Amino acid sequence: MTQTNPNWWREAIIYQVYPRSYLDTNGDGVGDLAGITEKLDYIASLGVDIVWLSPFFKSPMKDFGYDIADYCDVDPLFGTLADFDRLVARAHSLGLKIMIDQVMSHTADTHPWFVESRSSRENPKSDWYVWADPLPDGNPPNNWLSVFGGSAWQWDTRRKQYYMHNFLVSQPQLNFHNPEVQQAHLDAQRFWLERGVDGVRMDACVFHFHDRQLRSNPPALVRDTSTVTDVNPYGMQAHIYDKTQPENIAFLQRVRAQLNEFGAVSIGEVSSDDALEQMAEYTEGGDKLHMAYSFNLLTPVFTAAHIRKQVEEFNERVKDGWASWSVGNHDAIRVMTRWGGSNPTPALGKLVLAMQLSLKGTPCLYQGDELALVEADVPYELLQDPYGITFWPEFKGRDGCRTPMPWTGEAPNGGFTTGKPWLPVAEPHLAANVEQQDKDPQSMLNFQRRFIAWRRSMPQLTRGEIDFFDAPEPVLALRRHAEGMDSVLAAFNLSDREVSFDWPETAGASVLDTHGLQGDAKGGKVTLPPYGAWFGSVASR
């Protein structure tokens, strides 16, 4: 994979780092940029290509960096701009690319833009945020809800108006209908691109624009449970006016044009009532996002039918767009627990990785999943996530997937920090530490390294087309094929029981290396043990 290939990002693998929890080098209990730099050799050893860094910008940290107070500086908690420059330089020397998290839809309420905007109705930035007068009875202008609970409107006594917030009250919504707001974000993006950043992940990119008429959302015909839990009333609305507005297309085209100047790439986070449709719309045509991912594989649903439906529907809706399939990130219960229950077997982690890396699209991996970490149990008194605190106990928030990385079983806190960690290091994670797995050839960590290296040698898996075969649940059976090459057949058993089924296309297939995953195909019949997989090669037809 080289830069001479304009579509190199389609063959790449993204690895997400949550900086607060990666490695703390100064003993304050919070991970930092220097810690990430120190572990770049480890990241490179995984065989990934792009390192996505969750926000490290100046912030009051009420939403742990997703509430930005200065788009063009590093929060002292994480280090300095010089630390960031060193990180980029070291990454590039290892052949890694750096992707930063752009949180454009909202800022922190301490951002100078908002401080000025709320000061009066006449100041130069008075229209930089979404302000609205109350209804005659004093209520908010419409029924829009916050993802984090309650109304999306907060009364402000300075302007005697409501301001909009899609998330925390302290995360006021920017008014993207104002061209100055768009330009300010493009200027901030250019600042980082000029420092050598290779790409951007666009947080909440469907939230940029709102309906100018402030029309109320109707009730949802089908409740959205992929983005929010069933205890959150946000899923009871059809979100057709508070996000996914048509004006966003032109803005994404401006973002893409700037990225093209630097040869940088983009990935968008899509959370909407019809996420596949939005992913298609935002990536088709080659003039908006390079790729997008949704929460559709970040749900508890773990069936072959569901996974097949997501990939097939996306491919049917767009021919030239591109998906990024993610099964774990900082917003979702860790995949080992979400799909494996309270006591998952390590074999599940290997099976899920092999399946994810066999789908058509750019895989996005989350730190710690290469160790098959389970969801951490964080007691209420130690919760940090305001989302979880609001909806506890039925929803415990996102802290369980954000606990620190366990680097060793010997040092306190798994080697993450010499101080008190901002979230506790989970006891089950200590036994799954990097140092221990590095020594074990059969570990999840070493399986991931081998499988990624093998995938890189298989063009069918990195850029080929995909077809699915009918197979009994819980088997996902597919074919990856590229012009002038043999086709790769693959079958994945998503369950903890053995499955056998007839698959005539496998007759005469050459068996490919499964790197320890068990499976057998003879005479057109495939047998897969619990969480087993089989790969074969057949001549293209």
Residues carrying an active site annotation: 203, 261
Residue 277, sorted as left (phi over 0), alpha (psi -120 to 50) or beta, turns out to be: alpha
Question: 3-state DSSP call for residue 480?
Answer: strand
Q: Hey, which bits of 149-196 come out as E strands?
A: 153-156, 161-164
As a whole number of angstroms, the distance between CA 75 and CA 171 comes to 17
Whether residue 296 contacts residue 310, with contact meaning beta carbons closer than 8 Å, is answered with yes
Q: Tell me the CA distances in angstroms from 46 to 93, 372, 379, one per residue in order.
A: 16, 14, 32
Strand partners, 66: none
**6 CA to centre of own chain:** 23
Question: 3-state DSSP call for residue 137?
Answer: coil
Q: Tell me the CA distances in angstroms from 351 to 370, 487, 490, one per residue in order.
A: 12, 21, 12
**48 CA to centre of own chain:** 15
CA-nearest of 86, 74, 101 to 34 is 86
Q: Give the CA radius of gyration of the chain.
A: 23
**522 CA to centre of own chain:** 39
**275 CA to centre of own chain:** 14
Show the tokens assigned to 262.
């630097």
Helix 444-456 / helix 346-356 crossing angle, nearest 10 deg: 20
Sign of CA dihedral 38, 43, 49, 50: negative
Instruction: Locate all alpha helices (DSSP H) within 55-153, ordered by sequence.
Output: 81-93, 112-117
Question: 3-state DSSP call for residue 382?
Answer: helix
The residue with tokens 């897969």 is 528
As a whole number of angstroms, the distance between CA 200 and CA 290 comes to 10
Whether residue 231 contacts residue 395, with contact meaning beta carbons closer than 8 Å, is answered with yes
Show the tokens assigned to 512.
């490919």
- Cβ-based neighbour number of residue 504 at 10 Å: 9
